[in-house]
Amino acid sequence: MTTSSPERDVRSPRSSSTPGWFVTEAERQRGALTTLLGDLVHAPSLSTDEGDVVAQLEHAMEELGYDEVRVDPLGSVIGRIGDGPIRVVYDSHVDTVAVGSRAEWARDPFEPTILPDAGGGVLHGRGASDDKAGIAAMVHGGALYRRLAFDPRITLYVVGSVQEEACDGLALEHVLTAELPRPDLVVLGEATRCQVFRGNRGRIEALIRVSGSSCHASAPERGRNPVYALAPVVEEVQALDGRLGVGPFLGRGSIALTKIECETPGLNSVPATATLYLDRRLTEGESPEAALEALRSLPSVQAAGATVELLQYEATSYTGTPVAQDKRFATWVTPADHPGVLAGLETGEQALGQHLELGHWVFSTNGVASMGKLGIPTIGFGPGDEVHAHSAHDQCPLDDLVTAAAWYAAFPGVFASVLARGEGDRGAAEVAPGAARESVVAPGGNGGVGSVVAAGGGGGSGSLGAEVTSAG
Ligand SMILES: [Zn+2]
Q: For the whole model, what pTM was predicted? A: 0.85
Residues 290 and 217 in one domain: yes
Residues 146 and 235 in one domain: no
- Ligand 1 center to 445 CA (angstroms): 26
Indicate the number of domains in the chain: 2
Residues 284 and 161 in one domain: no
Output b/e per residue, 132-167; b: 16+ Cβ within 10 A.
bbbbbbbbbbbbbbbebbbbeebbbbbbbbbbbbbb
Where residue 336 sits, what CATH number does that domain have?
3.40.630.10
Alpha helices in 28-168 (DSSP H): 30-42, 51-63, 133-148
Average pLDDT over residues 81-105: 97
- Letter for the amino acid at 253? G
Least confident stretch, 192-201, 373-382, 423-432? 423-432
Residues 368 and 463 in one domain: yes
- Ligand 1 center to 442 CA (angstroms): 25
3-state DSSP call for residue 238?
helix
pLDDT of residue 452: 28
Q: Does some domain include residue 6?
A: no
Residue 7 has pLDDT above 50, yes or no: no
- Ligand 1 center to 103 CA (angstroms): 23
Least confident stretch, 36-40, 130-134, 384-388, 437-441? 437-441
Residues 189 and 230 in one domain: no
Residues 69 and 218 in one domain: no
Residue 365 near residue 200 (C-beta atoms within 8 A): yes
Structure confidence by residue, pLDDT tens digits, 191-239 = 999 999 999 999 999 999 999 999 999 999 999 999 999 999 999 999 9
- Ligand 1 center to 145 CA (angstroms): 24
Range among 21-25, 339-343, 456-460 with highest mean pLDDT value: 339-343
Q: Does some domain include residue 101?
A: yes
Alpha carbon distance 414, 340 (integer Å): 9
Respond yes or no on whether the N-terminal peptide bond of residue 131 is cis (omega within 30° of 0). yes
Residue 320 has pLDDT above 90, yes or no: yes
Residues 141 and 61 in one domain: yes
Using alpha carbons, select from 42, 33, 34 the residue that is nearest to residue 125.
42
- Ligand 1 center to 318 CA (angstroms): 19
Q: Please identify every residue annotated as catalytic.
A: 95, 164
Alpha carbon distance 82, 150 (integer Å): 8
Average pLDDT over residues 105-117: 94
Residues 340 and 403 in one domain: yes
Residues 351 and 264 in one domain: no
Bigger pLDDT: 3 or 155?
A: 155
Residue 346 has pLDDT above 80, yes or no: yes
Question: Distances from the Cα of 26 to the Cαs of 9, 156, 276, 425, in angstroms?
Answer: 14, 18, 49, 31
Find the angle CA(437)-CA(443)-CA(449) to the nearest 5 degrees: 30
pLDDT of residue 318: 98
* Confidence bin at 461 (pLDDT 50/70/90): very low
Where residue 298 sits, what CATH number does that domain have?
3.30.70.360
Domain that holds residue 169: 13-201+331-469
Q: Does some domain include residue 1?
A: no
pLDDT of residue 19: 52
Q: Does some domain include residue 66?
A: yes
**Among 283, 314, 345, residue at a domain's last position:** 314
- The DSSP element (H or E) to which 314 belongs, if any, is strand 312-316
- Ligand 1 center to 203 CA (angstroms): 15
Q: Which residues contact 198 (CB under 8 A, 6 or more apart)?
A: 333, 334, 335, 336, 338, 341, 358, 359, 360, 378, 379, 380
**E-only strand ranges, 40-181:** 68-71, 77-81, 86-93, 113-115, 122-124, 154-161
- Ligand 1 center to 36 CA (angstroms): 18
Residue 298 has pLDDT above 90, yes or no: yes
Structure confidence by residue, pLDDT tens digits, 167-180 = 999 999 999 999 99
Q: Does some domain include residue 49?
A: yes
Q: Does some domain include residue 4?
A: no
Question: Distances from the Cα of 74 to the Cαs of 60, 223, 372, 441, in angstroms?
Answer: 20, 47, 21, 28
Residues 357 and 448 in one domain: yes
**CA trace torsion 166, 168, 169, 171 (10° rounding):** 20
Alpha helices in 78-123 (DSSP H): none
**Among 266, 287, 314, residue at a domain's last position:** 314
Bigger pLDDT: 450 or 247?
A: 247
Residues 30 and 168 in one domain: yes
Q: Does some domain include residue 36?
A: yes
pLDDT of residue 138: 98
Residues 136 and 20 in one domain: yes
Q: Does some domain include residue 185?
A: yes
Residue 269 has pLDDT above 80, yes or no: yes
Question: Distances from the Cα of 146 to the Cαs of 21, 68, 137, 142, in angstroms?
Answer: 15, 13, 14, 6
pLDDT above 70: percentage of residues in the chain: 86
Residue 180 near residue 433 (C-beta atoms within 8 A): no
pLDDT of residue 424: 74
- Ligand 1 center to 226 CA (angstroms): 37
**Among 314, 349, 379, residue at a domain's last position:** 314
